[in-house]
Chain A
Amino acid sequence: EPEVTQTPSHQVTQMGQEVILRCVPISNHLYFYWYRQILGQKVEFLVSFYNNEISEKSEIFDDQFSVERPDGSNFTLKIRSTKLEDSAMYFCASIQFGAREQYFGPGTRLTVT
């Protein structure tokens, strides 16, 4: 069964550093998402991406965040200058056109020290 993959599984970084989280969505999917989950809290929507541009973003997704689909397979989330409160699990998801089931990746645990 096809699946969404994410790398790395765990990233430790120092406050103020830039990080790039990588995702490979399922190949025939057209909509891509990033969500995050702070430990013990809800899964929160960050951004959706379609046709090489952002479709929607939440209040969390400020100027420190950016997304990119640099090639036909990868989908990345960049945090320019990490803060302690960015520590969370970050999940990538994708969905096929016309479908309702989003497929989530295993997540990247980001720890900012």
Chain B
Amino acid sequence: LAKTTQPISMDSYEGQEVNITCSHNNIATNDYITWYQQFPSQGPRFIIQGYKTKVTNEVASLFIPADRKSSTLSLPRVSLSDTAVYYCLVGDLSGTGGGNKLTFGTGTQLKVEL
């Protein structure tokens, strides 16, 4: 799996947009970019996944430039409940039908304040 680099922590205030950038210079052709969220003492939760350009769902947007060497998770109008660790994972996570393991880094601790 491609190595990823993301900030250790970020601070924000309620109502602001938060952008977390992840670098993955060695991304391979078959790799997808996936973001997970984890609250304390809970299992990681899938947020969004993309291959290129922009992906948007009801929770977040994912921006991927043409060279795919980085990606940015965008959380619109964060609230206190968005305080969590956000992980960027890169890999061909489907494997032969879905079997590949996930390799987590240290993630980005997002703290949202009033």
Seen from chain A, the residues whose Cβ lies within 8 Å of a Cβ on chain B are 4, 30-31, 33, 35, 42-45, 48, 50, 55-56, 58, 89, 91, 93, 95-107, 109
Q: A99-B98, A101-B49, A102-B102 are in contact. Are A43 and B93 (CB under 8 A)?
A: no
Taken together as a complex, chains A and B put the C-alpha atoms of A30 and B95 apart, in Å, by: 13
- Is A89 within 8 A of B105, CB to CB? no
- Is A101 within 8 A of B46, CB to CB? yes
Most-contacted residue by chain A among B34, B45, B102, B107 (CB, 10 A): B102
Q: A104-B43, A104-B45 are in contact. Are A45 and B94 (CB under 8 A)?
A: no
Interface positions, chain B 32-61, Cβ under 8 Å from A, are 32, 34, 38, 41-46, 49
- The smallest beta-carbon distance between A39 and chain B, in angstroms, is 10
Note all chain A residues with C-beta closer than 8 A to B26. Answer: none
B104: Cβ under 8 A from any A Cβ:
yes
Q: How large is the interface on B (under 10, 10 to 19, 20 to 34, 35 or more residues)?
A: 20 to 34
The count of A-to-B residue pairs whose CB atoms sit within 8 angstroms is 68
Taken together as a complex, chains A and B put the C-alpha atoms of A33 and B101 apart, in Å, by: 8
Grouping DSSP codes into helix (H, G, I), strand (E, B) and loop, the A interface class, with mixed when no group exceeds half, is strand
Q: A89-B41, A107-B41 are in contact. Are A99 and B94 (CB under 8 A)?
A: yes
Taken together as a complex, chains A and B put the C-alpha atoms of A22 and B41 apart, in Å, by: 17
Taken together as a complex, chains A and B put the C-alpha atoms of A3 and B45 apart, in Å, by: 11
Q: Which residue of A lies closest to B47 (CB)?
A: A101
- Is A100 within 8 A of B93, CB to CB? yes
Taken together as a complex, chains A and B put the C-alpha atoms of A56 and B38 apart, in Å, by: 24
- Is A105 within 8 A of B99, CB to CB? no
Q: Which residue of B lies closest to A103 (CB)?
A: B46
Taken together as a complex, chains A and B put the C-alpha atoms of A35 and B97 apart, in Å, by: 20
Note all chain B residues with C-beta closer than 8 A to A95. Answer: 98-99
- The smallest beta-carbon distance between B40 and chain A, in angstroms, is 10
Q: A102-B46, A104-B45, A107-B42 are in contact. Are A42 and B98 (CB under 8 A)?
A: no
Query: Which 7 residue pairs across A and B have the least CB separation, nearest first?
Result: A104-B43, A43-B104, A45-B101, A101-B46, A91-B43, A95-B98, A100-B93
